Amino acid sequence: MTTNEQRLSQFTGWFQRRPTPLAFWELLVTDRRIVWCFVGESFKSLLLRADTGERGRRELERMTPEGALALNRRNFAVSLAALRSVRLRERSWLRRTTLTVTWDDDDATTTVRLYGTHSRASPADVVWTL
C-alpha cells in the first residue's frame, strides 16, 4: 500500500470463538482496507478467561497500517473492494454485540464472526460508513 493511506477508525475489543481459546482482534479501518490485528488469546473457561489484548490495543493506537501488519504473523488485510458485507448486531441483555464480516478471497468467500467485549462501545457509526 502507498503511504497516503488514511486511517479512519479502529474496531476495538473483539474476540473470536475458537474450539479451545478465544482469539482477540483489533480491526484498523483505512480508506483502502481493513487490517486485522491479532492481539492475544485466552482460554474459554470462565475460571481461566482473561482479556489479554490490552497491551496490543495500546500499541496499535499509534501505529500505521503497515506497522500493524508487520506486528504479528497472524495479521492480515482485506481490501474494501473485496468486502461483501459488514453486519453489526447490537448488544442486548442476553447476548454480546456481534460483528460479522464477509469478503471474497481468491477462490472462496470468507466469513468471520467477532463478539464484543462487554466494556466496549458500539461501533455502529464505523459500520455504517463501510
Domain ranges across the chain: 7-124
CATH match for 7-124 among 2.60.40, 2.30.29, 3.90.320, 1.10.760: 2.30.29
Q: Tens digits of per-residue pLDDT, 43-93? A: 654 444 455 556 667 778 888 999 999 989 999 999 999 999 999 888 677
The reported pLDDT for the residue numbered 23 is: 87
Specify the pTM. Answer: 0.80
Extended beta strands in the chain, E state = 7-17, 21-30, 33-43, 76-79, 83-89, 98-104, 109-116
For the chain, the distance separating the N- and C-terminal CA atoms, rounded to the nearest angstrom, is 19
Q: Look at the block and give the residue holding cell 488469546.
A: 41
